Structure 1
Amino acid sequence: MPVTPTPPGRASGDACPGALRLHAADDGALARVRLPAGLLTIRQATELAALTEDLGDGNLDITSRGNIQLRALPAGSGGELGGRLRAAGLLPSDRHERVRNIAASPLHGLDGTGHADVGAWARELDRLLCADDEVTALSGRFLFGLDDGRGDIAALTPDVTLIAEPDGRTAVLCYAAEGPGLRVPAADAPRAAVVAARHFLAAHGGSAWRVTELPAGHRPDVTALAAVLADTEVTAVPATRSPAPPPGPVSGPDGRTALSVAAPLGRLTAGQWRLLIAAAEAGSGELRVTPWRGVVVPGLAGADAAAARLAGLADAGLVVSAGSPWYGAGACAGRPGCAKSRADVRADATAALTGTRPGGTGGLPVYWSGCERRCGHPGGRWVDVLAVDDGYRVTVRTGGGEAEDGVRSVTAPGLPGAVAAARSGPGGDGTP
């Protein structure tokens, strides 16, 4: 008789950092501020800049969930940090702050492509989460995904995913962006997502933090929710999957232009962040932080004005073109911030990318990791640059995390050529 695999057990609690539960790193405390759908007002964005200047190292790190991390916080600063985040509306519930992981299509409503206002979904989902005591048992890693129909968020395989359908009146609810799905009224989609999360907790909350940690035969099935949710039907999950929005101008049907930029290695200085705030002040007054370590600024009037803003952001060191070798490149904290890291991976990544000609990488995302934990690495297929005792090991990893053939062992000086070859070699023609 075949042996049925069992879900992984959890011997210790979830140590995922938050805005109140800080992580002790070698360079000081680290705080992770959740931004549902990446949405920020100018006031909130300004307060984040002030916090990293007053308490942190002057930088803001963007995570793969579209959240913001502040590093090098001094001991005893948690009280001031929490108070200032609450005053800015960035901490609506102390008990729920780590479970407010909501990623949403960042170009929704801007380019005429999507089918739903997932920003409204995100705000309602956040409200419902903060009003539900049961969901506080979710891991800080559990991710809600709100896809406006273009397939960008579904490609991230969130734990609970809502995908807008073309009629704009319905959405497909699914786990890990896999079938079967459940068609629900768009107006009821946020509530359905909370019900799906509670269903996961009831069945698997003690054995796994994320749906994708469970073997395929043990993952939750949305058909069990049909009896709980009224006006639903089992349906297929839309197969459309699209890459991250590339950096550059985004023209809208209303004659306005949005700016899409990426943060080099996922990190922005407070000065660069303030330039984005200034662009938002000239636009709709909103910033959208993306799960691809970028920022979208909606609502600028006139292509010429948008182009001038984009040029200024490029001069400040932001990534504004998909032809940049920095596009799709990321790195963990590395030394000296992390004691587990074998190298200063950010310095080595910077040297490698600076030595690569513009437009000369193409292809797959690349991520530098200081140890085997690979904190913050991208999903899908990506180039894994792992620090080892005598240099780096460069390979391509599949969407399931397995290493493909063609491992290259190099020292830091050999990284530019090895990384470029891995990103653009056979099978490396995807887009970050």
Structure 2
Amino acid sequence: MLAAMPPTPTTPPEPGEAPIRDRGDACPGALRLHAAADGLLARLRLPAGRLTSRQVMVLADAAEEMGDGSLSVTSRGNAELRGLRDGCGAGLAALLADAGLLPSPTHERVRNIVASPAAGLDGLGHADVQLWARALDAALCAEPRAAALSGRFLFALDDGRGDVAGLGGDVTLVAAPDGAVLLTAGTETFRLAAPGTATAASTPAGTATGTTAVRAALACALAFLDAAEAAGTGAWRPRELPAGQHPDWAAALARAAITAEPVPSSPPPAPPPPAPGPLGDRALHVLAPLGRLTAGRLRALAEGADEVRLTPWRGVVVVGPSADRLPALAAHGLVTDPADARTGVTACTGTPGCAKSLADVRADAARAPGGPLPVHYSGCERRCGHPHGTRIEVTALDPDTYLLDGAPVPRTALAEAVAAARTKPMES
């Protein structure tokens, strides 16, 4: 169970056809470690990115004692420990379990839940979806069938500010200003009614509850599993199901005794990453440079914090401290100023950590010039870990050449080319 997993082969689809997955999802987890070029890798699912200060300290210790001394924040607000030594799996699992980071060994890879990181902190939004995330996590872990979801299936819980609704969730819940909840499953959207009401449109004051929302999300996830089993193609996500074999979402909601009204919808845009700085009067937001948090940075974040929340933008919301802690966190190398050139710069692992990478993209990304547009550096055409939404793509073609705006750029001229790309208007 703790051994490294081989890559998952697939049968290439014809254009326009759904992929056929020949094997189960081999996405890494906390118990299923991945063998990378720099050692073993563990991916920890953190629903809504939430960690207690004690858990942050445990991860800092684990990174130093078992890994490369750092923790990586993923584009889903999860955490990765890299450079883990051979034979550490059992010890790591025990450490995580003792810290409350493994509530269900059978479900640990399916706890993929992003939620508005500032929910309940800054007076914006229409519901505290952080509470929904905890309830959904408990519901997932309590449902045996949910363990069959792939490690890539994603729930997105948006408090209405629009920050995570556009992150490509397979099931998305959005709190509406009138108290209702909008649920999107696959490409269909429903307005949920509170228990005991006739229709969503007639719900007094729009009082669809978080409990109803969580039940609806779980019902849709199980409906996807039914459809995937019937299709027989090994689909990991609804978008991979063959045409004509998608779930009857409305029927699934009805079977769960949830009143839902179909409503028109269109894919929400992915907003730009939130800027670092204070969040209301009891929280602050900082960015991890290239998504990496050293053990020292982790301990600085945990100091005096009630909790921390890792974000899908490779940042951290620290709950508890006031804004006067920003200088201390900046001294640890965290990004606290929106004008910092490192804001909006992301990169995959690159060499030497990834055997598939063609270049040391993190070294080049660390020298990226500032600009208003986000930029992502990739070591190969897979573009792992890229952010959602508008961005500049910089992709290695070989150790000394990158692809930018469809044209090869010598590494020696890359900084100048990126500077120009980050400041020019993007085509609509």
TM-score, scaled to structure 1: 0.86
Residue 201 of structure 1 is matched in structure 2 by 225
Q: Is the 8 A contact 1:20 1:78 kept in 2?
A: yes
Mapping of residues 27-426 of structure 1, within 5 Å: 27-168=38-179, 170-176=180-186, 178-184=187-193, 185-186=208-209, 187-204=211-228, 206-207=232-233, 208-214=235-241, 219-220=246-247, 222-236=249-263, 242-251=271-280, 256-280=281-305, 285-300=306-321, 306-351=322-367, 353=368, 356=369, 360-363=370-373, 365-389=374-398, 391-395=400-404, 406-426=405-425
Q: CA deviation at 1:390?
A: 5.9
SS at match of 1:393: strand
- Cα distance in 2 for partners of 1:215, 1:332 equals 31
Q: Offset at 1:307?
A: 3.4
Amino acid at match of 1:331: A
1:231, 1:136 → 2: CA distance? Answer: 23
What CA distance in whole angstroms lies between the structure 2 residues aligned with 1:133 and 1:377? 32
Which AA in structure 2 matches 1:388? L
Q: Which amino acid aligns with 2:417?
A: A
Deviation larger for 238-247 or 325-334: 238-247
AA in 2 matched with 1:58: G
Q: Please report how far the alpha carbon of residue 245 of structure 1 lies from its aligned counterpart in structure 2 after TM superposition.
A: 2.3
Deviation string, structure 1 residues 374-417 (Cα, Å, up to 9, x no partner): 1111122221111112634344xxxxxxxxxx423112221212
Contact kept, 8 Å, 2:189 with 2:265, in 1: the verdict is no
In structure 1, give the amino acid aligned to 2:250: T
Name whichever of 413-422 and 142-151 sits farther off: 413-422
* Local SS of the residue matching 2:320: strand
Distance 2:414 2:242 in 1: 36
SS in 1 for 2:416: helix
Is the contact between residue 5 and residue 215 of structure 1 (CA under 8 Å) also seen in structure 2?
no
Three-state SS of the structure 2 residue aligned to 1:154 is coil
Q: Report deviation, 1:334.
A: 1.0
Q: What is the aligned residue count? A: 395
Amino acid in the other structure paired with 1:337: G
Secondary structure, counterpart of 2:254 in structure 1 = coil
Q: Return 5+ residue gaps in structure 1 as ranges.
A: 301-305, 396-405
- Report the equivalent of 2:201: none
Amino acid at match of 1:266: G
| 1:182 and 1:222 in contact (8 A); partners too | no
Give the aligned residue type for 2:46: L
- Give CA-to-partner distance per residue, 1:7-51, whole Å, 9 cap, x none: 211123211100000000111100001100111111111111110
Give 3-state SS (helix, strand or coil) of 2:392's partner: strand
- Shift of the 220–5 alpha-carbon distance from structure 1 to 2, 3 Å rule, reads farther
Conservation of the 8 A alpha-carbon contact between 1:279 and 1:297: no
